Amino acid sequence: MTDYAQQYIPGRASGAQVQKGGEKWTLIVTRELRHAPEKVWQALTDPAQLREWAPFEADGDLGRVGATVKLTWVGTANVSETRVAQAEAPRVLELSDMRWELEPEGSGTRLTLWHNIDRRFVAWGAAGWQISLDVLDRLIDGNPIGRIAGGEAMKREGWQRLVAEYARQFSAETPGQQT
């Protein structure tokens, strides 16, 4: 782990919103990245790069339509099988419960993620994705700081603050607490 990784503290809650409906809400996270869509696409679909930043590991290439891939969420025994429903490099990647869109923005990319998530964990999901996307940005920059996800993210300075900020923004409860 680099010194920077040890010093990393997430910024304020920003770039996320929710669409509420039933037990599953849709978390929408938007991030402006300084990198071309092709580089971002590689980081979204290549299992080796996903291991460096994503909150899950994939046992196969996410860039092949129709592929069935197992996702193992970091720090849990939760393994879910997902199907790649859409993969239009370097624009759209859709899995069973996540959709990524990449739009060219100057010399960079506007990345938007839609993730269907249990409403009780939506603030945690927003905080986790914010941290993961910070790590992704540094990875593509050539300054990797290593994956920060699951229990590792939850132990970080700033995690509780970030979750509380998202819970307030979304008027959402978090496990063990009601707003």
The answer regarding whether domain 3-170 maps to CATH 3.30.530.20 reads yes
> pTM of the entire structure?
0.93
Domain boundaries of the chain, sorted by first residue? 3-170
d(CA 15, CA 88): 24
Is residue 161 exposed (0-12), middle (13-18) or buried (19+ Cβ within 10 Å)?
middle
Mind listing the pLDDT tens digit of every residue in the chain (179 residues)?
556 677 899 999 999 999 998 889 999 999 999 999 999 999 999 999 999 999 999 999 999 999 999 999 999 888 999 999 999 999 999 999 999 999 999 999 999 999 999 999 999 999 999 999 999 999 999 999 999 999 999 999 999 999 999 999 999 988 765 44
DSSP string, 89-150: TTTEEE-SSEEEEEEEETTEEEEEEEEEEEGGGHHHHHHHHHHHHHHHHHHHHT-------H
